[in-house]
Amino acid sequence: MTQDLESRLRRHGEVLADTQADPPPLAPMIRVASGHGPARASWGPIALAAVVVVVVATIPVLLRIAGPSSDRPSAAPAAIPATVTVNGVVETLVGTEGWTAPVADETAPDVVWVYAEIQGGPSCLWTPVPYVVAATATAVTIKIATYVRPATSTTYQPAVCVDVKRPSQRLKVTLGAPLAGRKLVDAFDGSSHPVLDPATVPAPTTVPAGYVARPVAWSSLNGFATGFGKEANAGIRTYAGAAGTVSISAGPAASLGGNLPEVLRRTTVHGHPAVASADRGFEQDILVVWTEAPDRAFAVHQMSNDDPKHPALTLDEVIAFANSLN
Amino acid sequence: MDWVAPHWSAMANLARRLGASDTWEDVLQDALTSAWRNRTRFVPERGSARNWLLAITADQARKSWRSAGRRRRRDAAFPEPGAQLAPGIDLDLERAIARLPHRQRVAVTLHYLMGLPVNDAAAVMGCSPGTVKSTLFEARRHLRSELGEEYR
**What is the C-alpha to C-alpha distance for residues B71 and B73, in angstroms, rounded to an integer?**
5
| Selected residues 170-229 of chain A with any CB under 8 Å from a CB in chain B | 222-224, 226, 229
For residue B111, the 8-state DSSP code is I
What is the structure's pLDDT at A237? 93
Nearest chain A alpha carbon to B125: A164
Q: How many CB atoms lie within 10 A of CB B152?
A: 7
**What is the C-alpha to C-alpha distance for residues B121 and A246, in angstroms, rounded to an integer?**
22
Residues of chain A with pLDDT under 50: 1-2, 41-75, 120-121, 153-166
What string of DSSP letters covers A47-87? HHHHHHHHHHHHHHHHHHHHS-BTTB--SSPPP--SEEEET
What is the structure's pLDDT at A122? 52
**Measured between CA atoms, how close is A13 to chain B, in angstroms?**
4
Q: What tens digit of pLDDT does each residue of A231-252 get?
A: 567 889 999 998 888 999 988 8
Length of chain B: 152
> Chain B within 8 Å of A258 (Cβ-Cβ)?
yes
What is the structure's pLDDT at A118? 65
Q: How many CB atoms lie within 10 A of CB A56?
A: 11
Nearest chain B alpha carbon to A122: B63
Q: What tens digit of pLDDT does each residue of A113-171 get?
A: 999 876 544 555 678 899 999 999 999 999 999 887 775 544 434 444 444 444 578 99
What is the structure's pLDDT at A27? 85
User: ω before B44 within 30° of 0 (cis)?
Assistant: no
Contact call for A162 and B34, based on CB within 8 A: no
What is the structure's pLDDT at B85? 63
Candidates B14, B46, B22, B7; CA nearest to B113 is: B14
Vertex A139 angle, CA A133 and A145, to 5°: 25
The interface pTM score, or ipTM, of the predicted complex is 0.82
Question: Could you read off the pLDDT tens digit of each residue along chain B, which spans 152 residues?
Answer: 677 888 999 999 999 888 877 788 888 998 898 888 877 767 666 678 888 899 889 888 877 766 555 434 433 445 555 556 667 778 889 889 988 888 889 999 999 999 998 888 888 887 777 778 888 988 888 898 888 865 43
Provide the whole-model pTM: 0.58
**Measured between CA atoms, how close is B31 to chain A, in angstroms?**
9
Query: Residues with Cβ < 8 Å from B89, sequence gap 6 or more?
Result: A12, A15, A16, A19
- Burial class of residue A277 (count of CB atoms within 10 Å of its CB; 0-12, 13-18, 19+): buried
| A212-213 and A296-304 beta bridge pairing | unpaired
